Amino acid sequence: MKLYTYDTTKFDFRKLLLEHFECEDLQKLHECHSDWVPKEELSFSEESNTKFHKNFYDKLREPWIEFIELYRSFIGEQIASHVCGDCDFIFQAFPSFRVHLPNEKAIHKVHFDSDEDHRHPPGELNVFLPMTDCLPNNTLWAESSPGKGDFSPMLLSYGQYAVWNGNECAHYNESNTEQLTRVSFDFRLLAKSDYDPTYERVSYTSTTKFLLGEYYDEL
C-alpha cells in the first residue's frame, strides 16, 4: 500500500456530498437521514444497495456533471501524474460509493476483487479515497500481500488516499463500533497493457462488463 495526499480545497468531493445529502458532517450521515438506516443487518447482496447508495447513484446518473468533472480531473491530475506516471492506463468510469454506518460492516465478506464472487480481471490496482477520517473499526482492513493474512486497518485521514492491491489482497470491514459513519470512494486502475477486451465476466455490483465504455473509461 502506498499513501498519497491531495489538495482537498481543489478536489472538494466532500463539499459536493454535504450539499447533496443536506448534512453538515458526513460522520453524522446516519443521524441526518436516520430513516435511511437499515433496520436489520445487511446481506452480501444488499450491502451496496442501501438508500444512501441509491440516492448517490441516482444523482450520478442524472448525470451529476459537477461530480463527474471533478472525478475525471482528480484522475488526470493526481492519478496520472503521481501514481501511473508514464504508464498508459484506464480507470473505473464511476467510483464505488461506500457508507460504513455504525453497527454495520458495509463489506461483509472477506474477499479479494478477483475472486469468484467479485470477478474483477487480473492486474487492477485499487484506490481508497476516504471522505472522513478513518478509525480502527470503521475503515477497511486488508492483508499486506496476497495470502499473508496479516490484516490491519487502513487508518487514513481526510486528504489522503491509498493505492493498493485489492485485486489479490483479501480485505473486509469490522463492525463499526466507532458510532461515526465512514464515507469513502474507491475505484480501480488497470494498465492498458493488462486490458483484455475479450474478458467476458461482469461486475456483481454494477452488472457491467469490464470493458472500455462500460466499467472502464480513459482520459
Asked if 114 and 165 count as a contact pair (C-beta separation under 8 A), the reply is: no
- Homologous superfamily, domain 2-36+44-217: Jelly Rolls (2.60.120.10)
211 vs 200: CA distance, rounded Å:
9
pLDDT of residue 139: 97
Asked if 138 and 176 count as a contact pair (C-beta separation under 8 A), the reply is: yes
pLDDT of residue 115: 96
Instruction: Convert the pLDDT of each residue in 158-182 to its tens digit.
Output: 999 999 999 999 999 999 999 999 9
178 vs 180: CA distance, rounded Å:
5
Please report how many Cα atoms fall inside a 13 Å half-sphere around the Cα of residue 182, on the Cβ side: 32
pLDDT of residue 46: 74
Average pLDDT over residues 116-124: 94
The domain ranges of the chain are: 2-36+44-217
> Rounded to two decimals, what is the model's pTM?
0.96
DSSP the chain: -EEEE--TTTS-HHHHHHHHHT-S-GGGHHHHTGGGS-SSPPPTTTTT-SHHHHHHHHHHTTT-HHHHHHHHHHIIIIIIIIIITT--EEEESSPEEEEE-TT--SS-S-B-TTSTTT-PPTT-EEEEEESS---TTSSEEE-SSTT----EE--PPTTEEEEE-TTTS-EEE----SSS-EEEEEEEEEEGGG--TT---B-TTT--BSSBTTTEE--
pLDDT of residue 82: 87
Instruction: Convert the pLDDT of each residue in 131-168 to its tens digit.
Output: 999 999 999 999 999 999 999 999 999 999 999 999 99
Sort 173 into a burial class: Cβ within 10 Å, 0-12 / 13-18 / 19+: buried
